[in-house]
Every structure is written in C-alpha cells, then in structure tokens.
Amino acid sequence: MPKLTSVADVISAMPSHFVPDNAAGLNAVLQLVISGDGGGQWHMVVAEKQLTIEEGAAPNPSMTLKMDSADYLAMINGEANPMQMFMAGKVKVVGDMSLALKMQSMFRMQ
C-alpha cells in the first residue's frame, strides 16, 4: 500500500481496509481525536461486522484514541510501533482499552 500522507487519506481508506470477520460480535463507537496539522475528530461505529465513519464527536464513545497527526500517520504507515507510542505517552486512550488493541486487527492498513 502506498504511504498515506494525510489523516483525511487514512480516514477515507479505512472502509476499504476494514476486516469484517475481525469485528465479529463487536458493537462499539470508536472516537478518533487527531491534533496538529490536518487533524480533526471522527467516530467509527462498528456493529454487526459493518463500519460507518462520520466526522465529528460521538456523544458517548466506547473508546477515544487521542494523538498527534504526525504520530498517527507514522503509526498507520508502519513507521512506528503503536505499543511503544502508547508507552511513550504519544497515544492516549480513554475508555475501553481493549478496543484500541482490537483496531489493529480490524483494519489492515499496511
């Protein structure tokens, strides 16, 4: 996959990289809060092996992932390890931490 250079590119590519079978049994709202250049807020609703993504904040997300846009792109492009970024404080998770881990298997971005 070519390197993604903007958060908007990542968001628009996510549906085509969604792995429905890896979301089996999941019913959750995942909030992304990306700061910095090209950042913004998006929320993903995952239910019945389906994905919908909308811009903006969800009223009651199951999990919120917060990080800087440059770090987010590095993670998505496979240039940075998500767990190391979390341990370094570059990734902040609010809510159900297991959903943040589950996102890695729900999307095949690399």
Domain ranges of the chain: 7-99
Tens digit of each residue's pLDDT (9 = 90 or more) over 84-104: 999 999 999 999 999 988 888
CA distance 93 to 67: 9
Average pLDDT over residues 71-79: 93
Q: What percent of the chain has pLDDT over 90?
A: 82
Look up the CATH architecture of domain 7-99: 2-Layer Sandwich (3.30)
* pLDDT bracket for residue 1 (50, 70, 90): low
DSSP reduced 3-state for 57: coil
* pLDDT bracket for residue 4 (50, 70, 90): confident
Nearest to 56 by CA among 35, 26, 38, 32: 32
* pLDDT bracket for residue 57 (50, 70, 90): very high
